[in-house]
A and B are shown apart, each in its own frame.
Chain A
Amino acid sequence: SEMSFEWPWQYNFPPFFTLQPNVDTRQKQLAAWCSLVLSYCRHRKLYTLDVMEAQESPVFNNKKISRKLSVEAIQVVFEELRKKGNLEWMDKNKTRCLIMWRRPEEWGKLIYQWVSRNGMNNSVFTLYELSNGDDTESEEFHGLEEWMLLRSLQALQAEGKAEIITMDDGKGVKFF
């Protein structure tokens, strides 16, 4: 599936892999990096990133032109993503992060659309059923990691469209 990913033109432009000193240029460069990281993670369905591992990932390491983004530069890109609300650090040392190429509200909307389309309002589901069940296999949220799923459902709960149920043995949700 890596083959079908369409790299932006900047990816084959060597200066792209060095943070630019000019403020305007740098801003555009960071915006392009953010968009590249998000679309790559979306393509690969990645929900967590490790900074050290990321450095070796093709997204930050273009072997064809022998360029890779430094760890410091990756941190800058990640910080930019955090400011935009697409990333959250998992530890104080900022070595691992959650990456949200779709915000919880957007996921919530997709899930709720599926529920309404299938006339399943007023029904209860286990979280496993939503992310791993046979009925959701063709849905985009199939395989969604549990933390992300939970956040999406919390977003729906805030809108009054769902209620999260906590049982001794894991969580469930009721849609309205």
Chain B
Amino acid sequence: MGNVFGRKRRTRVTEQDKAVLQLKQQRDKLKQYQKKITLQLEKERLLARQLLKDGKKEKALLLLKKKRYQEQLLEKTENQIGNLERMVQDIEFAQIEMKVIEGLKIGNDCLKKMHEVMSIEEVERIMDETQDAIEYQREIDDMLAGSLTQEDEDAVLAELDAITQGEDVSLPDVPKEELPEVPAEELERKRVKTQSEMLVA
């Protein structure tokens, strides 16, 4: 009915499904045949008993022979049904195996694609580029740090020294007793000497 508008719905029935169905149909037929023969056997058993009762031994024997033959048929049928059912199971299992392989294939393709993106050369290239970038950054750092000339650097160091000296000079205590008189001439001489010492520093 879906065909009315010429748009056939995609079937989800595989060739294997059809094969399984065909086997199952054969099995159904055998089962029906089995039912029929079983019923017949039951009938004939009753009939043979009746014949024996009536003293018709020959006829009863003939019937029992026929019955025996049918029993063999029944046994064969049972085997055939078993064969068909095994075949059905084999096909069903093979279908499952196919699905597993399909799944593995998809997984494999996926891994391959991911590996293509992550080729060794590509990884090396990326690592190299990263290294380049690190070096580039270092250069920038150096350039920024190196913007002062050597002269500037020296001045900075001298300033640092001056600060350190001004801070860390400990002086002796001032004496408590009266200082002796110092001749003015000697005092003058000492002052000059101190000044010349300071200049040296």
Kindly report which residue of chain A lies nearest to residue B32, judged by CB atoms: A128
With A124-B17, A165-B17 as contacts: A174 and B12 at CB distance below 8 Å:
yes
Residues 148 to 168 of chain A near chain B (Cβ within 8 Å)? 163, 165, 167
Q: Bin chain B's interface residue count.
A: 10 to 19
Q: Is the CB of B25 within 8 A of A174?
A: no
The answer to whether A167 and B17 have CB atoms under 8 Å apart is: no
Contact: A163 with B25, CB < 8 Å?
A: no
Are the CB atoms of A167 and B13 closer together than 8 Å?
Answer: no
CB proximity to B under 8 Å, residues A128-176: 128-129, 163, 165, 167, 169-170, 172, 174, 176
* A169 CB contacts on chain B under 8 angstroms: 22, 25
Docked-complex contact A129 and B28, CB < 8 angstroms: yes
Q: Is the CB of B12 within 8 A of A167?
A: no
User: Nearest chain B CB to A167's CB is how many angstroms away?
Assistant: 6
- Number of chain A residues close to chain B: CB under 8 A: 14
Q: Which of A124, A129, A163, A167 is B11 in contact with, Cβ under 8 Å?
A: A163
Q: Is the CB of B12 within 8 A of A124?
A: no
Q: Does A123 contact B (CB under 8 A)?
A: yes
Contact B12 A176 (CB under 8 A): yes
Q: Which residue of A lies closest to B95 (CB)?
A: A122
- A125 touches B (CB below 8 Å): yes
Q: Are A126 and B12 in contact (CB under 8 A)?
A: no
B18 within 8 A of A: yes
Taking a contact as CB atoms under 8 Å apart, the answer to whether A126 and B24 are in contact is: yes
Query: Beyond A126-B28, A129-B28, A174-B12, is A165–B92 a contact (Cβ under 8 Å)?
Result: no
Q: For B92, give its contact among A123, A129, A163, A176 (CB under 8 Å).
A: A123
| Contact A174/B13 with A124-B20, A167-B21 known, Cβ cut-off 8 Å | yes
Chain A residues within an 8 Å CB radius of B12: 163, 174, 176
Determine how close the nearest CB of chain B comes to the CB of A140; give it in whole angstroms. Answer: 21
In whole angstroms, how far apart are the Cα atoms of A126 and B11 in the complex?
A: 17
Residues of B within 8 A of A174 (CB): 12-13, 17
User: Which residues of B are interface residues toward A (Cβ below 8 A)?
Assistant: 11-13, 17-18, 20-22, 24-25, 28, 32, 92
List 10 A-B pairs, minimum CB-CB distance, nearest first. A172-B21, A128-B28, A124-B17, A124-B21, A126-B24, A124-B20, A169-B25, A126-B28, A174-B13, A165-B13
Could you write out 17 A-B pairs with CB less than 8 Å apart? Answer: A123-B92, A124-B13, A124-B21, A124-B24, A125-B24, A126-B25, A129-B24, A129-B28, A163-B11, A165-B18, A167-B21, A167-B22, A167-B25, A170-B25, A172-B24, A174-B12, A174-B13
